[in-house]
Structure 1
Amino acid sequence: MIVMHAEMPIAPDSREEALDLARELAEESRAEAGVIDYRVTTDIEATNTVRVIEQYEDTDAVESHMSSDHFESFQASIAAHLAGEPTLYQYEVDSKTQVM
């Protein structure tokens, strides 16, 4: 499994527009083959930071997502709402276990 964690600093004056774009991206991304889960959150301590937690079956699913029309459209649209450079982390995970 591949886990991606993105952090995007959002401009306060266009926060709602950015969140709408992120909601749409999440909904469309969860419908993709190979996507286990795709969640967008806001940080309770840094309210203008959006975090995206993505889980994929494999590298092919990640590549398919990154080249999808809706992801490319999101990237083009979100740029106007960013207050800085996004960061992206990738983790390769052997298993996932629910502990509670």
Structure 2
Amino acid sequence: MIIISGTVSLDPSKADAFHVALEALVTATRAEEGNVSYGFYVDPLEAGTYRIFEEWADQAALDAHMGADHMAAFMGQMGDFGVTGIELHSYQASNKTKFM
């Protein structure tokens, strides 16, 4: 399993437009084969900062996602949101067990 986590920061005044774009992206991505989970979550302490968490079955699924039309459309909109920073990290996980 591949895990992607990190943050994206943007102009807080653009949050409503960002949420509209996210709705389309998240809906399409969660329907992709090999997607285990996918989400952007508002950071309650940093205005305009979103925490990203994704789980993918394998590299092929992640590669397909990165080449998907809905991902290209979303990336094409990123300049509209006043993005000030993106930091994402990829992790290889050998197993997943329930914690709670």
Percentage of matched positions with identical amino acids:
25
List aligned pairs for 1:37-56, cutoff 5 A: 37-56=37-56
CA–CA distance in 2 between the matches of 1:5 and 1:79?
21
Structure 1 stretches lacking a partner, 5+ long: none
Instruction: State the TM-score, normalizing by the size of structure 1.
Output: 0.93
Q: What letter corresponds to residue 98 of structure 2 in structure 1?
A: Q
- Displacement of 1:51 in angstroms is 1.9
Is structure 2 residue 29 aligned with structure 1 residue 29?
yes
Is structure 2 residue 84 aligned with structure 1 residue 84?
yes
Instruction: State the TM-score, normalizing by the size of structure 2.
Output: 0.93
CA–CA distance in 1 between the matches of 2:41 and 2:63?
22
Q: Are the equivalent residues in 2 in contact too, given 1:2–1:90 (CA < 8 A)?
A: yes
Residue range with higher mean Cα deviation, 55-64 or 40-49? 40-49
Number of equivalences? 100
Runs of 4+ in 1 over 4 A off after TM superposition: none
Please provide the CA RMSD for this pair. Answer: 1.1
Residue range with higher mean Cα deviation, 44-53 or 32-41? 44-53
Residue range with higher mean Cα deviation, 54-63 or 21-30? 21-30
